């Protein structure tokens, strides 16, 4: 890889170039389905049988032969049905329903043979061992199959249920259980090591001398990574000294799939990350046409992918969400990872904007009583003002060519909840 010191890349190009370098991890392990939550499937899952396995009732009521009602005579609608037994969920009725007969049935119980329609309990009048459909509900029972769930209507035996590369969500756990599958093969977790650079940084719990600040990036990185279910190796704070940075880089890249750093990648005198990286690995230093998050280093040290994020706390989060999260999804083996979706909203704030760079403004997205989306910025937008992230629930994304935004203009927003899959 070559370095392109003065290259100014668009956000889209940077994403594409990062994506082009990444390989998914290949190792996998078997886990119980509960432990598969948020993991990436390493195998296709096929339905071993029909779901539901039996045709069953969708309601509490009475199973009958639909033709008894559908035959159309006014007599049929007012006919009495003789109740001949009961079908419970898990305890089927063994006999056969014949014309003029009904079996009381519970939701989920297997449909007795012969029956093909269920009259809802609330729609009939029961009198000792007979039932009769209330005439005002007759219009609801004009086809067979009413209130009946067919075997295989959810999934047919042999159907692909979940593809390899799927990140498992709670619904998938239930689906796997419904198929009787107790364990699955998932890709191994990604190992992500990170550290923060800066002589001014102190750990929480230490006193703050004049000129020093608490390291917050370690905590936001921890939080963002923890929600992605990766193995985290927090290597702490390292001073702005080439030997210290070299040592920690070697340690970090030894076992991690991905190394993330913050700070030290711009052009200040104490920005040694760049020099050390050039010595140890192959790394691009990019100036990205975005705000915040202008400098970004991306490359490889040994077998590890490397992301050198800027030092400013908001820039760390913006560049993590725009570049790193997507990259981690791809490396974890997710098929076709998507960036968080965007939508359009009416901006209520005035935003000053220069052309030539993408800006990520922290916003609060709301829907008004008519369901129309509005957004406003969260106060001051300096790239060190972490409070602006804490208050926000979305990014307002202003593309390169965009100029100032006036109240009432439509803007593109990316809601945060969509960012952690
Ligand atoms: P740098 O990119 O190293 O020049 O840092 C840019 C700004 O971000 C400086 O004001 C740093 O003090 C601040 N900064 C860097 N790292 C951290 C951190 N881990 N926590 C909080 N602020 C930081
Ligand atoms: Mg620094």
pLDDT over 60 at 2, yes or no: no
- Mean pLDDT calculated for residue range 290-312: 94
Q: What size, in residues, is the chain?
A: 421
Residue 240 CA, closest ligand 1 atom number: 3
Write down the mean pLDDT value for the chain: 93
Asked which of 9-13, 215-219, 274-278, 360-364 is least confident by mean pLDDT, the reply is 274-278
Residue 265 CA, closest ligand 1 atom number: 2
- Mean pLDDT calculated for residue range 59-71: 91
Among 292, 312, 315, 385, the mutation site with the greatest number of ligand 1 atoms within 8 A of its Cβ is 312
pLDDT over 60 at 317, yes or no: yes
- Mean pLDDT calculated for residue range 229-247: 96
Per the CB < 8 A criterion, the answer to whether 400 and 289 are in contact is: yes
Identify the CATH number of the domain defined by range 2-25+190-331.
3.40.980.10
CA-closest residue to ligand 1 atom 5:
311
- Mean pLDDT calculated for residue range 90-98: 97
pLDDT over 60 at 3, yes or no: no
Closest C-alpha to 264, from 253, 275, 254, 255 = 275
Instruction: State the pLDDT confidence band at 6, using cuts at 50, 70 and 90.
Output: low
pLDDT over 80 at 74, yes or no: no
CB of 185 sitting under 6 A from ligand 1: no
pLDDT over 60 at 182, yes or no: yes
Residues 352-382 have pLDDT tens digits of: 999 999 999 999 999 999 999 999 999 899 8
CA-closest residue to ligand 1 atom 20:
215
Whole-number percent of the chain with pLDDT over 90:
84
CA-closest residue to ligand 1 atom 12:
200
Interval between CA 140 and ligand 2 midpoint (Å): 71
Among 262, 265, 314, 316, the mutation site with the greatest number of ligand 1 atoms within 8 A of its Cβ is 262
Per the CB < 8 A criterion, the answer to whether 312 and 384 are in contact is: yes
Residue 196 CA, closest ligand 1 atom number: 19
Q: Quick one: pLDDT at residue 260? A: 98
d(CA 179, CA 271): 55
- Mean pLDDT calculated for residue range 233-237: 97
CB of 212 sitting under 6 A from ligand 1: no
Whole-number percent of the chain with pLDDT over 70:
95
Instruction: State the pLDDT confidence band at 339, using cuts at 50, 70 and 90.
Output: confident
Query: What is the DSSP track for 348-406?
Result: -S-B---TTSEEEEEEEEEE-TTS-EEEEE-S---TT-THHHHH-SEEEEE-TT---B-
Alpha-carbon distances of 378 from 27, 68, 347, 364, 374, rounded to whole Å = 43, 66, 12, 7, 13
Closest C-alpha to 89, from 170, 161, 149 = 149
- Which ligand number lies closest to the CA of residue 263? 1
Instruction: State the pLDDT confidence band at 71, using cuts at 50, 70 and 90.
Output: low
- Fold for the domain defined by 56-149: Molybdopterin biosynthesis moeA protein; domain 3 (2.170.190)
Instruction: State the pLDDT confidence band at 336, using cuts at 50, 70 and 90.
Output: confident
- Fold for the domain defined by 343-418: Beta-clip (2.40.340)
- Mean pLDDT calculated for residue range 98-114: 97
Tokens 């963002």 locate to: 224
Among 263, 274, 291, the mutation site with the greatest number of ligand 1 atoms within 8 A of its Cβ is 263
CB of 261 sitting under 6 A from ligand 1: no
SS3 135: helix
Q: Quick one: pLDDT at residue 138? A: 87
Closest C-alpha to 401, from 289, 322, 288 = 289
- Describe the crossing of helices 242-255 and 273-280 by its angle, rounded to 10 degrees: 50
CB of 213 sitting under 6 A from ligand 1: yes
- Mean pLDDT calculated for residue range 205-216: 96
- Mean pLDDT calculated for residue range 92-117: 97
Per the CB < 8 A criterion, the answer to whether 340 and 419 are in contact is: yes
Instruction: State the pLDDT confidence band at 78, using cuts at 50, 70 and 90.
Output: low
pLDDT over 70 at 72, yes or no: no
Q: What would be the CATH architecture of the domain defined by 29-50+165-187?
A: Alpha-Beta Complex (3.90)
Residues 136-177 have pLDDT tens digits of: 998 899 888 999 999 999 899 999 999 999 999 999 999 999
CB of 292 sitting under 6 A from ligand 1: no
Q: Quick one: pLDDT at residue 419? A: 47
Q: Quick one: pLDDT at residue 338? A: 81
Interval between CA 236 and ligand 2 midpoint (Å): 14
CB of 310 sitting under 6 A from ligand 1: yes
- Mean pLDDT calculated for residue range 192-220: 96
Q: Quick one: pLDDT at residue 340? A: 84
Per domain, the residue ranges of the chain are 2-25+190-331, 29-50+165-187, 56-149, 343-418
Instruction: State the pLDDT confidence band at 36, using cuts at 50, 70 and 90.
Output: very high
User: How many Cβ atoms are within 10 Å of 21's Cβ, its own excluded?
Assistant: 15
Pairing verdict, β 130-133 and 124-127 = antiparallel
């Amino acid at each position: 890889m070559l370095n392109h010191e003065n290259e100014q890349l668009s956000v889209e190009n940077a994403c594409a170039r990062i994506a082009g370098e990444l390989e998914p991890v290949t190792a996998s392990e078997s886990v119980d389905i509960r432990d598969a939550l948020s993991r990436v499937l390493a195998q296709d899952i096929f339905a071993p049988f029909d779901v539901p396995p039996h045709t069953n009732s969708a309601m509490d009521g009475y199973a009958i032969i639909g033709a008894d009602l559908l035959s159309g005579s006014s007599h049929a609608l007012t006919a009495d049905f003789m109740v001949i037994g009961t079908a419970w969920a898990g305890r089927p009725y063994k006999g056969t329903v014949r014309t003029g007969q009904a079996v009381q049935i519970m939701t989920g119980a297997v449909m007795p043979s012969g029956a093909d329609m269920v009259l809802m309990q609330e729609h009939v009048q029961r009198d000792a061992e007979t039932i009769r459909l209330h005439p005002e509900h007759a219009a609801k029972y004009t086809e067979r199959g009413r209130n009946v769930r067919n075997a295989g209507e959810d999934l047919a035996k042999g159907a692909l249920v979940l593809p390899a590369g799927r990140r498992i969500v709670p619904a998938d756990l239930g689906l796997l259980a419904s198929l009787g599958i107790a364990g699955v093969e998932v890709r191994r977790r990604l190992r992500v090591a990170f550290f923060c650079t800066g002589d001014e940084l102190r750990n929480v719990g230490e006193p703050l001398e004049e000129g020093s600040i608490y390291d917050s990036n370690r905590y936001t990185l921890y939080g963002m990574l923890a929600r992605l279910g990766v193995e985290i190796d927090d290597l702490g704070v390292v001073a702005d000294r080439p030997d210290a940075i070299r040592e920690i880089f070697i340690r970090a890249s030894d076992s991690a799939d991905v190394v993330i750093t913050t700070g030290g990648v711009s052009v200040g005198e104490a920005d040694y990350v760049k020099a050390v990286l050039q010595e140890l690995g192959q790394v691009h230093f990019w100036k990205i046409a975005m705000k915040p998050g202008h400098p970004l280093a991306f490359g490889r040290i040994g077998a590890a992918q490397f992301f050198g994020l800027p030092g400013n706390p908001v820039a760390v989060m913006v560049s993590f969400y725009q570049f790193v999260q997507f990259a981690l999804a791809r490396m974890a083996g997710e098929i076709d990872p998507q960036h968080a979706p965007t939508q359009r909203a009416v901006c209520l704030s005035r935003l000053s904007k220069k052309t030539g760079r993408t800006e990520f403004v922290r916003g609060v997205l709301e829907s008004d009583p008519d369901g129309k989306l509005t957004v406003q910025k969260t106060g001051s937008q300096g790239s060190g003002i972490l409070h602006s992230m804490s208050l926000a629930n979305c990014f307002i994304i202003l593309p390169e060519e965009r100029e100032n935004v006036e109240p009432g203009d439509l803007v593109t927003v990316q809601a945060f909840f969509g960012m952690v899959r």
